[in-house]
Structure 1
Amino acid sequence: MSVKILADSACDLPLNFYEESGVTLFPLGVHLGEKEYEDLLTIDPSTVYKAIRSGEMPKTSQASPLKFEEYFKEMAKNKEEGIYIAFSSELSGTYQTAVMIRNQVKEEYPDFNLSIIDSKCASLGCGLVVMEAQKLAASGASFAEIERDIKFRCEHMEHLFTVDDLNHLAKGGRLSRASAFMGGLLNIKPLLNMEDGKLIPIEKHRGQKKLLRRIIEVMKERGQHFDKQTIGISHADCLELALDMKEQIKAELNVEEVVITDIGAAIGSHTGPGTIAIFFLNELPA
Structure 2
Amino acid sequence: MNVKILADSACDLSEQYYNEFAIEMIPLTVHLDEKDFQDGKTISAKTVYDAMREGKSPKTSQASAQAFKTIFTSYAETNQPLIYFAFSSELSGTYQAAKMMEQEIKENYPDAPIYAVDTKCASIGYGLVVLRAAQLAKNGASVEEILETATYHANHMEHIFTVDDLEYLYRGGRVSKTAAFVGSLLKIKPILHVDDGKLIPLEKMRGSKKLLARMVDIMDERGVDINNQVIGISHGDDLERAEQLAEMIKEKFQPKDIVIEMVGSVIGAHSGPGTLALFFLNDQYK
TM-superposed CA distance for 1:129, in Å, is 0.6
User: Is the 1:13–1:261 contact (alpha carbons within 8 Å) kept by the matching residues of 2?
Assistant: yes
TM-superposed CA distance for 1:192, in Å, is 0.5
Over residues 183-234 of structure 1, what are the superposed CA-to-partner deviations in whole Å (9 max), with x where a residue is unaligned? Answer: 2232200000001101111100012121111111110000021110100000
SS at match of 1:84: strand
TM-superposed CA distance for 1:160, in Å, is 0.5
User: Equivalents in 2 of 1:256, 1:98: separation in Å?
Assistant: 33
Shifted more, 169-178 versus 35-44: the winner is 169-178
Over residues 161-185 of structure 1, what are the superposed CA-to-partner deviations in whole Å (9 max), with x where a residue is unaligned? Answer: 0000112112112334443333223
* Correspondence 1:25-44 to 2 at 5 A: 25-44=25-44
Alignment pair present for 1:54 and 2:54: yes
Structure 1: unaligned runs, 5 residues or longer: none
User: Equivalents in 2 of 1:182, 1:195: separation in Å?
Assistant: 24
SS at match of 1:209: coil
User: Equivalents in 1 of 2:147, 2:175: separation in Å?
Assistant: 31
TM-superposed CA distance for 1:65, in Å, is 1.7
User: Is the 1:160–1:279 contact (alpha carbons within 8 Å) kept by the matching residues of 2?
Assistant: yes
Structure 2: unaligned runs, 5 residues or longer: none
RMSD, aligned α-carbons: 1.1
Q: What is the match of residue 210 of structure 1?
A: 210
Q: What is the match of residue 200 of structure 2?
A: 200
Over residues 48-71 of structure 1, what are the superposed CA-to-partner deviations in whole Å (9 max), with x where a residue is unaligned? Answer: 011101110000000122211111
Q: How many residues align?
A: 286
User: Equivalents in 2 of 1:130, 1:247: separation in Å?
Assistant: 24
User: Equivalents in 2 of 1:78, 1:126: separation in Å?
Assistant: 28
TM-score, scaled to structure 2:
0.97
Q: What is the match of residue 226 of structure 1?
A: 226
Shifted more, 148-157 versus 177-186: the winner is 177-186
TM-superposed CA distance for 1:285, in Å, is 4.5
Alignment pair present for 1:105 and 2:121: no
111 and 215 in structure 1: CA distance in 2 versus 1, 3 angstrom threshold = same
Q: What is the match of residue 146 of structure 1?
A: 146
TM-score, scaled to structure 1:
0.97
SS at match of 2:209: helix
User: Is the 2:39–2:264 contact (alpha carbons within 8 Å) kept by the matching residues of 1?
Assistant: yes
Shifted more, 155-164 versus 251-260: the winner is 251-260
Query: Identity across aligned pairs (percent)?
Result: 52
Over residues 71-104 of structure 1, what are the superposed CA-to-partner deviations in whole Å (9 max), with x where a residue is unaligned? Answer: 1000000101121110000000000000001111
User: Equivalents in 2 of 1:138, 1:24: separation in Å?
Assistant: 13
